[in-house]
Amino acid sequence: MANLKTFTREEVAKHDNEDDLWVIIDAKVYDLTKFKNLHPGGLSALLEEDIPGQDATEAFYGLHRHEVLERPQYRRLQIGTIEGEEPQIVDKINGDISNIPYAEPTWLTPGYYSPYFNERHRTFQRAVRKFFDDHVYPDAQLREQDGKRPSQEVFDKMAEVEMHAMRMGPGKHLQGRTLMNGLVTPEEYDYFHELILSQEVVRCGARGYGDGLLAGCVIGLPPVLNFGSPELKARIVPDILKGKKFICLAVSEAHAGSDVFGLQTTATKTEDGKHWIISGNKKWITNGVFADYFTVGCKTEDGFTVILVERSEGVETKPIKTAYSATAGTAYVTFDKVKVPVENTLGEEGGGIFVMLSNFNHERWVMCCCSARSQRLLIDECMKWTAQRKAFGKPLNTQPVVRAKIAAMIARTEGVQAWLENITYQMNNMSYKEQANKLAGQLAFLKMYSTRCAAESAADAVQMFGGRGVTQTGMGKFIEHYHRAVPFDSLLGGAEDVLADLGVRQAMRGMPSNARL
């Protein structure tokens, strides 16, 4: 921007035709003469009577995201600014808090208080957000499009600040590590820190990439950490937490999803009792395409057993095409007589249900963190869009029906986050066993409720964006993506109806036998 000049509006007005075409956008002057034939929106749009030589700010923001002007190839088109005027619309600043009302949870909104988050959490949040904006967001936008695995540099950067370890939650695995360059100690790291981390991941607005960013590890590694032998852990965990090796959870099958007793993958012992022989298939396995390790639910003589399988002879993975990007590495996995040492058994033989159940609460809570945060993106997008987009001569947000949709969206999002923070506070104060007893129902309800809210808000957002809400590029690109990907959240970790029923059955078990109306 070294050669920018200043112009008066009168000077700009002289460049008002096809061969000499300038416009003003937010006090910046653009020369579109050479660009006009390359303009993706066509030449005629630039020659409408109120555009050449004039202020096109309103017309531009009704049709383009601000990020268009941030792209280097378009930034070059700016030749100057208007004398005595300052641009009002700012570029994205990495690490910034959104100033759009309700686009951040209250604890991040200036002037509000929180009983849960302290200054240390806030410092941590600022660093994590800056980290994601600097190192993850650009990769997310690329990979969600090309479907390749998240870049190794991103995994490496995350490992430098111990993010892979932090995403496993508070616990022994953090001991001796320097977390986020020392901004939080392993002893003080709590579930609110983890909530922050999980929620910042989601801000990339790229759902497949979010899962590609080692969601498989978040659900597949805890059984190893909690139930693996010390030797097994010493051998595989360090490389996984460094982002060099990848692990996934392989439970659901073509034959059975939530119904673990219906699983058909079998593990039988060799005659000498030293190995398992595993055969069967697993479906919808997040990160399976690039995983080195598989935490596998198997049918065994004693019932259901969880076994760690390493990628080896007889293991094959094929990508499954889903509604979101291949960057998540969603796989169909087949095990054909795979030989696995019995030392890779996680927990007791026949005790797989306990291993799985102990994982479910944390897994569902992480999903709630993500779902709650992702709904903020809808608010951010819809508040901006309905303010800058005009229909029938007025901004969309002058229509009561649009405001009613936004109201419902905000109310749902605030409700979900408040409930989530309450549960997180319980988790910080309960033992793991108490959590299993008291929070399974709460989390089942919250997850079911959150994903229903998300789907309703996504559908409302599409209505507000119209055709752009179903278009993969341009103004509505995040809405289209969200609306397409939101069913994932409603299925992972248990379908909504299954979770709802689980919660009610738990509540029924807690009914006092002498209760009467």
**Separation between Cα atoms, residue 268 and residue 379, nearest integer Å:** 52
Q: Which is nearer to ligand HEM, 64 or 120 (CB)?
A: 64
Residues that bind ligand HEM (CB under 6 A): 23, 30, 32, 39-41, 45-46, 51, 56, 59-60, 63-65, 68, 74, 77, 473-474
Q: Rounded to a whole number, what is the distance in angstroms from the first to the last CA of the chain?
A: 75
Count of beta carbons in the 10 Å neighbourhood of residue 261: 9
CB nearer to ligand HEM: give 45 or 495: 45
Closer by beta carbon to ligand HEM, 51 or else 142: 51
In the three-class reduction of DSSP (H, G, I as helix; E, B as strand; rest coil), residue 299 is classed as strand
Q: Least separation, in Å, of the C-beta of 52 and ligand HEM?
A: 9
Smallest gap from residue 141 Cβ to ligand HEM (A): 13
What minimum distance in Å lies between the beta carbon of 83 and ligand HEM?
20
Comparison of 81 and 442: residue with beta carbon closer to ligand HEM = 81
* C-beta of 26 vs 496, nearer to ligand HEM: 26
Q: How far is the CB of 207 from ligand HEM (least distance, A)?
A: 20
Nearer to ligand HEM, 45 or 232 (CB): 45
Q: Is residue 206 within 8 Å of residue 370, measured between CB atoms?
A: no
60 vs 385, which CB is nearer to ligand HEM? Answer: 60
Report the residue number, 16 or 310, with the smaller CB distance to ligand HEM.
Answer: 16
Region for 501 from its dihedrals, namely left if φ exceeds 0, alpha if ψ lies in -120 to 50, beta otherwise: alpha
Amino acid at 368: C
Cα–Cα distance list, 122 to 50, 113, 168, 248, 392 (Å): 47, 12, 20, 31, 43
Q: Least distance to ligand HEM from the beta carbon of 45, Å?
A: 4
Q: Which residue has the CB atom at the shortest distance from ligand HEM?
A: 41
Instruction: At 159, list the tokens.
Output: 């490992």
Helix axes 352-388, 191-202, angle to 10 degrees: 50
Q: What are φ and ψ of residue 249, in 5° steps?
A: -100, 125
Element (H, E) at 429: helix 400-429
Listed in sequence order, the residues at least 6 apart from 505 whose beta carbon sits closer than 8 Å to its beta carbon are none
Q: How far apart are CA 428 and CA 447, in angstroms?
A: 19
Distances, alpha carbon 274 to alpha carbons 49, 304, 340, in Å: 81, 18, 9
With respect to ligand HEM, which residue has the nearer C-beta, 32 or 204? 32
| Beta-sheet strands, E only, within 145-237 | none
Phi (first) and psi of residue 253, to 5 degrees: -130, 170
Which residues neighbour 93 within 8 Å (Cβ) at sequence distance 6 or greater? Answer: none
Q: How far is the CB of 471 from ligand HEM (least distance, A)?
A: 7
Contacts of 228 (CB under 8 A, 6+ apart): 237, 308, 346
CB of 277 to ligand HEM, least distance (A): 54
CB of 29 to ligand HEM, least distance (A): 10
Please state the closest distance from residue 459 (CB atom) to ligand HEM, in A.
21
- Residue 44's Cβ-count burial label (10 Å; 0-12, 13-18, 19+) is exposed
Nearer to ligand HEM, 40 or 510 (CB): 40
Least distance between ligand HEM and beta carbon 324 (Å) = 21
